[in-house]
Structure 1
Amino acid sequence: MAQIMYLNVGIPELRTWDGKQELSAIGKKRVTQAFLSKDSFHGDGVAATEFHGGPDRAVCFYPAEHYSKWSGEFGKDFALPTFGENISASGMTESDIYIGDTYRLGEAVVQVSQGRVPCAKISKNNDIGQLLKRVVETGFTGYFFRVLQEGMVYDDSEIVLLERKQNNYSILRANEIYFHQRKNYKAIEELVNIEELAEDWKKNLEKLLMQKN
Structure 2
Amino acid sequence: MNKIVTLSTGKPKKHSWKNREEISGIAKEKIEMTYLTKEGFMGDGVANTDFHGGPDRAVCLYPFEHYGMWEKEFKNAFTPPSFGENICARNMLEKDVYIGDIFSLGESLIQISQGRIPCSTISKHNKEDRLLGRIVETCFTGYFFRVLKEGTVNVESILKLEDRKQERVSVLQGNFTMFHDRKNHKAIQELLQIEELADVWREKLEKALI
TM-score interval, normalised by the smaller of the two chains: over 0.9
1:51 and 1:125 mapped to 2: Cα distance?
16
State the AA in 2 paired with 1:153: V
**1:160-180 residue CA offsets vs partner (Å, 9 max, x unmatched):** 000000001000000000000
Q: Which runs of 4+ in 1 moved over 6 A?
A: none
Provide the residue aligned with 1:57 in structure 2.
57
Residue 90 (structure 1) shift: 0.7
Provide the residue aligned with 2:173 in structure 1.
173
Provide the residue aligned with 1:11 in structure 2.
11
Write 1 or 2 for the structure with the bigger share of strand: 2
2:106 and 2:6 mapped to 1: Cα distance?
13
Provide the residue aligned with 1:48 in structure 2.
48
Q: How many residues align?
A: 210
Residue 50 (structure 1) shift: 2.4
- Segments of structure 1 that go 5 or more residues without pairing to the other structure are none
Residue 51 (structure 1) shift: 2.1
State the AA in 2 paired with 1:197: L
Residue 79 (structure 1) shift: 2.9
2:29 and 2:76 mapped to 1: Cα distance?
21
8 Å contact from structure 2 (residues 51, 118) kept in 1:
no
State the AA in 1 paired with 2:98: Y
Residue 120 (structure 1) shift: 0.3
**1:16-39 residue CA offsets vs partner (Å, 9 max, x unmatched):** 000111000100011110100000
Provide the residue aligned with 1:154 in structure 2.
154
Provide the residue aligned with 2:142 in structure 1.
142
Alignment RMSD: 0.6
Please state whether the residue corresponding to 2:38 is helix, strand or coil. coil
Provide the residue aligned with 2:209 in structure 1.
209
Please state whether the residue corresponding to 2:95 is helix, strand or coil. coil
1:198 and 1:179 mapped to 2: Cα distance?
16
State the AA in 1 paired with 2:203: K
8 Å contact from structure 2 (residues 6, 80) kept in 1:
no
State the AA in 2 paired with 1:66: H
1:84-163 to 2 correspondences below 5 Å: 84-163=84-163
Please state whether the residue corresponding to 2:165 is helix, strand or coil. coil
1:48 and 1:29 mapped to 2: Cα distance?
18
Residue 55 (structure 1) shift: 0.2
Quick one: percent identity of the two aligned structures?
Answer: 53
Residue 49 (structure 1) shift: 1.3
Provide the residue aligned with 1:70 in structure 2.
70
Residue 190 (structure 1) shift: 1.1
1:209 and 1:139 mapped to 2: Cα distance?
21
Q: TM (normalized to structure 2)?
A: 0.99
2:91 and 2:155 mapped to 1: Cα distance?
17
8 Å contact from structure 2 (residues 80, 88) kept in 1:
no
1:92 and 1:162 mapped to 2: Cα distance?
14
State the AA in 2 paired with 1:71: E
2:79 and 2:103 mapped to 1: Cα distance?
27
